[in-house]
Chains A and B, each alone.
Chain A
Amino acid sequence: MKVSFPYMGTTVIYKKLLELLGHEVIEPPEPTQRTIDLGVKYSPEFACFPLKVVLGSYIEALEIGAETLVTSGGHGPCRAGFYGETHKKILENMGYDVDIIVFDGYKRDIMGTIKKVLRVKNGKPWRTVWKAIKTVYAMAKALDGIEKRIGQMRAYEIHRGDCTKAWQKIKKSFDDVKTIEDVERIEKESHILLDEIALRDVPDSDRLRIGIVGEIYVVMEQSINLRIEETLGSLGAEVERSQYISEWIDFNLKPGASAKEHELYILKKGEKYIQEIIGGHAKQTVGHIVDYAERGFDGVVHLMPFACLPELVSQSIIPTISKDYNIPVITLPIDEQTGAANVLTRLEAFMDLIRNNKKTKTA
């Protein structure tokens, strides 16, 4: 069975997991305008933007031979929980014979989850499965650490594009991982590669730090969010995202209470503004804004798929948080209609705003 998965962020991680379980993996190509066009064409108009892009990405994977798609589901009252079923229906209507395995929260349907695990397990001994999971988890942690470092470095690179080039190279080199020892070795090599990048020396007082929060797909997938991290980097800001895949694994999949600590801490921060989980990442969004403010960040960029209900709720709360914590926040709705020129103008103005803000704060 030829397996593929939705494209989001650092995909080498999902690819590796399926590979180590002995599947023939079809890697979906990074989303491009064609992916978006395909997704938009075959999705209902008012579906959320991530559903459209993922659909486009599935179609492209099926075109190059994928037969089965493995994905995570959504939980809580948000349309994301519907993606698997909707995608299956659309793809079937288009004439594709496709199997979609959706992993929802395991507590809701333990038997169903076990059945799905057995299918993905592919007849491998549990020992192999355990090893694969451990290796891939280590890889996710390592890659996220590297990506965070790049997010800080990019603002100061002397030759524009150096960091992004290094990041592409690093992701490729992780493709050779077979064991956990490989992960450790490649992680070390990657950091050495980053050490070699020439950086400008900028005094602490002139450093600008921006947190990126919002719905997970538009926050993590750079090909559809106007490469927000690179854009902010080139405007001179260090960035950190609210979501990294290893943190998502910690909270949603890893058993044990200690793994959930970070996310619970963030949720707690947002409690004052949103008490209940209202779906998507709304509660996390407000929690992260509070967290960034307390950690002394200079500004926050809030990304949301156009018309995303949970993020519309957080958007309407943001002016209050922004005032309470004196931290500037800019919201950017993203969909297939987003024009780069308008967004860039606003981001530039936002950078001027936070730079001035910082000057008066320190003066």
Chain B
Amino acid sequence: MNKVFIGIDVGSVSTDVVALDVEGNILSAQYLRTNGQPIEAARQGLRNLKNELNGNIEVLGVGTTGSGRQLTGIMVGADVIKNEITAHATATISLVPGTRTIFEIGGQDSKIIFLKDGMVTDFAMNTVCAAGTGSFLEHQAERLGIPIEEFGDLALTAKKNVRIAGRCTVFAESDMIAKQQYGFSKAEIINGLCEALVRNYINNLGRGKKLEPPYVFQGGVAANKGIVAAFERELNHKVIVPDNHNVMGAIGAAILAREQVERSGKPTSFRGFECTDLQFTPTTFICEGCDNSCEVIKVEMDKKVVAMWGDRCGKWTNSLL
């Protein structure tokens, strides 16, 4: 019987589930598409994980992170529900000790995290625009008719440099179309896009901050060799991409779950793998208490309300406490 800690990272594009043993080794890592159904994705991820480990496991703790952390946390009975910045940093500190700067580019957001002596000292997150995140790249790959998996390799074959405006997704797209008409090859345009993305990322998130090596690049976009190369050219320094770069958030959540369980000394609140079969329905309604018209999210499990949030005044959230 393997004793494990489970981490679940429910993001906009992918949902990742990992199991770590007590020494912190990764026993299983599941990477699934969220497809707009975070609960279903998390369920499927848990089932796959259980199957891969032949059901021969005892879960000691569960942590959730990512934009769907709240919902999933309630479903599985998480011991810890953490923001993705802390989760990513925790994983990197443990897997790549000594890291000073983390670049994380996910489906719909990007972050930069600064570390010193194994501690987060500062961070920034994109706030204004989604230009340069995974979804944007995917959209452009689709438009050019290139599978996203080949995107990076193709960028590396570019012979000439072409500058693409990367400030805004719409302008980047029209600029790319213009450059296509001028006769640049697909590879060159893609390479230009990678450079625009990196330039934009560093200008936006790294503004006024000193970026110290070692650099670690993680998140789904780190699989893209074109972007990695663009980062290395921009920084004039090697950028490390960890083996499990696409599930770092989930690894962090599992580590945080272990810390939480060890600190509290209480047994895990994990509902068991049976939770994947529970009736679990989130619904949304507009509260008509005032002109704020908040969208309140109500989560029911087997017809019992287990969580509510989204109200600004706390009327519904606090009603369950």
Contact = CB atoms under 8 A, between A and B. Distances in A.
Interface of A: 29, 32-35, 159-161, 164, 223, 227, 230, 316, 319, 322, 328, 333, 341-342, 344-346, 348-349, 352-353, 356-357, 360
Given A29-B291, A230-B314, A319-B209, 19 more contacts: A32-B290, A32-B293, A33-B291, A34-B293, A35-B291, A160-B318, A223-B312, A319-B208, A328-B122, A342-B127, A345-B83, A345-B84, A346-B123, A348-B85, A349-B86, A349-B123, A352-B120, A353-B120, A357-B121
18 contacts: A34-B292, A160-B317, A161-B321, A164-B314, A316-B208, A319-B209, A342-B109, A342-B127, A348-B86, A349-B120, A352-B85, A352-B86, A352-B120, A353-B120, A353-B122, A356-B119, A356-B120, A357-B119
A345 B85 contact: yes
Nearest to B294: A33
B119 A348 contact: no
Interface string B108-119: 010000000101
Contacts of B225: none
B208 A360 contact: no
A172 to B, nearest CB: 15
Contacts of B86: 348-349, 352
Interface of B: 67, 82-86, 109, 117, 119-123, 125, 127, 208-209, 290-293, 312, 314, 317-318, 321
A230 B318 CA distance: 13
Interface of A is mostly: helix
Contact of B119 (A160, A349, A360): A360
A160 B314 contact: yes
Contact of B83 (A29, A160, A164, A349): A349
A58 B244 CA distance: 55
A348 B82 contact: yes
A352 B291 contact: no
A353 B123 contact: yes
Interface residue SS majority, chain B: loop
A32 B292 contact: yes
A197 B109 CA distance: 40
B125 A342 contact: yes
Nearest to A354: B120
B104 to A, nearest CB: 12
A29 B86 CA distance: 39
A199 B83 CA distance: 26
Nearest to A339: B127
Contact of A34 (B84, B291, B312, B318): B291
Contacts of B117: 360
A227 B290 CA distance: 16
Contacts of B123: 346, 349, 353
A344 B86 CA distance: 13
B83 A348 contact: yes
Nearest to A162: B318
B290 to A, nearest CB: 6
Give the 7 A-B residue pairs with the shortest CB-CB distance, closest first.
A349-B85, A32-B291, A34-B291, A348-B83, A161-B318, A32-B292, A352-B86
A74 to B, nearest CB: 26
B121 A353 contact: yes
A161 B314 contact: yes
Contacts of B290: 32
Contacts of B122: 322, 328, 353
Given A32-B291, A35-B291, A345 B125 contact: yes
A341 B297 CA distance: 13
Contacts of A223: 312
A316 B84 CA distance: 26
A316 B121 CA distance: 18
Contacts of A34: 291-293
A352 B83 contact: yes
Contact of B127 (A33, A316, A333, A356): A333
A357 B321 CA distance: 31
A115 B36 CA distance: 62
Contact of A341 (B67, B292, B321): B67
A227 B315 CA distance: 14
A345 B293 CA distance: 23
Nearest to B126: A342
A353 B209 CA distance: 17
A348 B122 CA distance: 13
Nearest to B117: A360
A284 B208 CA distance: 22
Nearest to B315: A161
